[in-house]
């Protein structure tokens, strides 16, 4: 079995694959500093809860956008499993040609997402990830990735509202019944959610227009992606496991 790990700014998301089948997924927060022993114990506990035996693991792939925890995390994972992980970064085979002006600036999470979308759906494809940041990445029919748009995620925008204004409360992020809000909480929800819907529609429209690819396939992922995808007809596919699938594909290319 293969253990894949996506270390994001908010969460560490893990998945276990048996071939191409996802056996389980689980997550923990990435913002809480831990020692290598604590990371190892936490991983072992979550594997046991999901009835996955450590000795059944044959490989591990990790993508991380949080460099400061990597030494402790990789040390804990390696000692717990006895496996040296494949780390997504320069020199790793992906099947994608990064044509950006500075390829090293492209986050491993974005590389993994476009690998999954391109391999599963072909190109050209626009990949949306509704994470801590909302990203839009374009891959052409030949697997060239050089165009990307980065915007604040919904949670970042929400946090700015209630942390930087004295009277606005912390709220649940959900779509209100109407954009015509009559009180503070639903007015904030309307601004956040309908604002993200409008941004998403406009960016997709502009990417299609400026790239000359009107039939561009649009694939979305990320925690809040389902809510937005249900409201944006321009999104063709929502896949909550896209990043984990990308890590599995990269492992197969590098084993």
Query: What CATH code is carried by the domain that includes residue 53?
Result: 3.30.420.40
CB-neighbour burial class of residue 96 (10 A; exposed 0-12, middle 13-18, buried 19+)? buried
Q: Which of 109, 137, 140, 239 is catalytic?
A: 109
Could you say which of 67, 87, 107 is where a domain stops?
A: 87
103 pLDDT more than 90: no
Residue 102: predicted pLDDT: 82
| Judgement on whether residues 125 and 231 belong to the same structural domain of the protein | yes
pTM greater than the 0.85 cutoff: yes
30 pLDDT more than 90: no
254, part of any domain: no
223, part of any domain: yes
| Judgement on whether residues 80 and 167 belong to the same structural domain of the protein | no
Domain that holds residue 53: 2-87
116 pLDDT more than 90: yes
255, part of any domain: no
| Judgement on whether residues 10 and 132 belong to the same structural domain of the protein | no
Could you say which of 58, 87, 116 is where a domain stops?
A: 87
3-state SS track over the chain: CEEEEEECCCEEEEEEEECCEEEEEEEEECCCCCCHHHHHHHHHHHHHHCCCCHHHCCEEEEEECCHHHHHHHHHHHHHHHCCCCEECCCCCCCCCEECCCCHHHCCHHHHHHHHHHHHHHCCCEEEEEECCEEEEEEECCCCEEEEEEEEECHHHHHHHHHHHCCCCCCCCCCCCCCCCCCCHHHHHHHHHHHHHHHHHHHHHHHHHHHHCCCCCEEEEECCCHHHHHCCCCCCCEECCCHHHHHHHHHHHHHC
Residue 77: predicted pLDDT: 95
Q: Is residue 109 among the annotated active site residues?
A: yes
171, part of any domain: yes
Residue 9: predicted pLDDT: 87
Residue 94: predicted pLDDT: 94
What does pLDDT average to over the chain?
94
The predicted-structure confidence for 181-220, as pLDDT tens digits, reads as follows 999 999 999 999 999 999 999 999 999 999 999 999 999 9
Residue 250: predicted pLDDT: 97
59, part of any domain: yes
Residue 90: predicted pLDDT: 84
166 pLDDT more than 90: no
Residue 165: predicted pLDDT: 87
The predicted-structure confidence for 135-162, as pLDDT tens digits, reads as follows 999 999 999 998 899 999 999 999 998 8
Q: What's the structural domain count of the chain?
A: 2
| Judgement on whether residues 76 and 102 belong to the same structural domain of the protein | no
253, part of any domain: no
Instruction: Give the pLDDT band (50/70/90) at residue 118.
Output: very high
For 64-82, what is the mean pLDDT? Answer: 95
Could you say which of 87, 120, 143 is where a domain stops?
A: 87
| Judgement on whether residues 72 and 22 belong to the same structural domain of the protein | yes
139, part of any domain: yes
């Amino acid at each position: 079995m293969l253990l894949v790990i996506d270390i994001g700014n908010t969460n560490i998301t893990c998945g276990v694959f048996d071939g191409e089948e996802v056996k389980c997924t689980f997550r923990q927060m990435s913002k809480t500093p831990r020692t290598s022993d604590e990371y190892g114990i936490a991983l072992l506990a979550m594997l046991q809860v999901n009835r996955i035996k450590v000795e059944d693991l044959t490989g591990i792939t990790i993508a991380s956008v949080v460099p400061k925890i990597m030494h402790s995390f990789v040390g804990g994972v390696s000692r717990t499993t006895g496996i040296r992980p494949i780390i997504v970064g320069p020199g790793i085979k992906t099947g994608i040609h990064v044509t950006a002006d500075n390829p090293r600036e492209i986050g491993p999470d974005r590389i993994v997402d476009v690998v999954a979308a391109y391999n599963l759906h072909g190109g050209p494809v626009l990949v949306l990830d509704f994470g801590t940041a909302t990203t839009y990445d374009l891959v052409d029919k030949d697997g060239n990735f050089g165009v990307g748009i980065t915007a604040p995620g919904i949670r970042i925008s929400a946090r700015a509202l209630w942390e930087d204004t004295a009277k606005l409360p912390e709220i649940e992020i959900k779509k209100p019944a109407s954009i015509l809000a009559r009180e503070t909480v639903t007015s904030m929800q309307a601004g956040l959610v309908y604002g993200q819907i409008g941004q998403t529609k406009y960016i997709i429209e502009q990417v299609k227009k400026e790239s000359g690819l009107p039939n561009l396939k649009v694939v979305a992922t990320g925690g809040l992606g389902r809510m937005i995808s249900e409201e944006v007809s321009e999104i063709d596919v929502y896949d909550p496991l896209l990043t984990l699938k990308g890590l599995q594909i990269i492992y197969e290319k590098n084993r």
